[in-house]
Chains A and B, each alone.
Chain A
């Protein structure tokens, strides 16, 4: 390899691993941001997550934006997707407003803790934490892919026993499931554990720029006896408030770049709006399987970047 090749290779490494200091606001940049955000919004609406899990890696790895700018833009986009998806699920009565409002107390406190941590941690630490979280998301999505349909068919959601907190707060709910063609009633239990996980989800939101939606959906669905679709609708509404709390801190720190947030917010709104029209008509098993594969890939990418920046360890690349 001659000197020119070495220079070219070094420039390529700089391009891959070092964020840009300024960007050209071009058609291609806006279209790319919009496309990634629309994809994130669509899947976010289908799975009750904010979409930051797609957006942050795409902005950092493909567009070379600084990690903290990407995280802040992603947090604001979570509000956009929550407004779009949340309004539709509220209109369809899939959302459990009382449960969502109760868990919001814990997620907002968690988001406050997480945002404070994000302002002091190095980028590579955030990337490694993100990688671990993505790995957990993949496992959670894959291991629960068939659970909901079985419990709806057996009426298991309505037969469970509500705990005293759920009875006192009147947290039960119901919705019409378009895929199962039946009214699904459910009682809520496991409130203390659900509240604890909601707090952790809030920390994830503030720390990593994700809505913490996967943790909330998992908590409601696996530990609180809430059907998947009701959990998705409720999580979709909740993540907006959690992200708003984080956004205030990012805004005051000067990390919310408005010209990046614009295409991201419009894209996630468009994607989330489309996603809410189809979510209630789908069985979730195949979507969750696809989701888990994507999560594993993104987890690997983030892990590789974090290890390289923090410890100079190089993992093999896919491409």
Chain B
């Protein structure tokens, strides 16, 4: 890859690398948005077919945090479980975008921004660990 500089002082290698990152980030965001929106829409329609009262307590929400409940909910097309899965996908999309960006920066040998991106990932992981072990 050439490393010549254009009139603005930016190398052609930088430009090409940035285009790769832009394309990869775009694909991840679009994919995450489409899948989660489709799941939410299907679950809302399902829920409205049998409207019922829904509790608003954390205890009720946490009842769904079990693999068995999720598996049974998937088989029964339970709208709450479908929306749980869509929510998790939604939360994971920006994180996947950061992972893909890190990969793209690594491929482009942009070490400074690989470090920056990995720092963001480290904070995200720290948050999850703190949440699991006491920060509640």
Contact = CB atoms under 8 A, between A and B. Distances in A.
Interface of A: 19-27, 30, 65-66, 69, 76, 79-80, 82-84, 86-87, 90-91, 93, 95, 97-98, 101-102, 104-105, 108-109, 111-112, 115-116, 119, 168-170, 172, 185, 237, 240-241, 243-245, 247-249, 251-259, 261-263, 265-266, 269
Given A105-B123, A252-B131, A22 B53 contact: yes
B54 A112 contact: no
B107 interface: no
Given A86-B29, A265-B37, A244 B91 contact: yes
Interface residues of B, number: 65
Contacts of A253: 58, 131, 136
B25 A90 contact: yes
Tell me what chain A mostly uses at the interface: helix, strand, loop, or mixed. helix
B131 A249 contact: yes
A171 to B, nearest CB: 10
Contacts of B14: 170
Taking chain B's interface residues, is the majority helix, strand, or loop, or is none over half, making it mixed?
helix
B74 interface: no
Contacts of B88: 251
Contacts of A93: 22
B126 interface: yes
Given A91-B26, A258-B64, 7 more contacts: A20-B56, A80-B33, A168-B112, A240-B94, A244-B124, A265-B87, A269-B33
Nearest to B38: A266
Interface string B31-47: 01100110011011001
A90 B40 contact: no
A97 B44 contact: no
B101 A97 contact: yes
A286 B120 CA distance: 36
Among A24, A30, A170, A244, chain B packs the most CB atoms within 10 A around the CB of: A244
Contacts of B83: 258-259, 261-262
A127 to B, nearest CB: 18
Contacts of A261: 40, 83, 87, 90
A115 B8 CA distance: 41
A112 B86 contact: no
Nearest to B14: A170
B93 A79 contact: yes
Contact of A241 (B32, B97, B113): B97
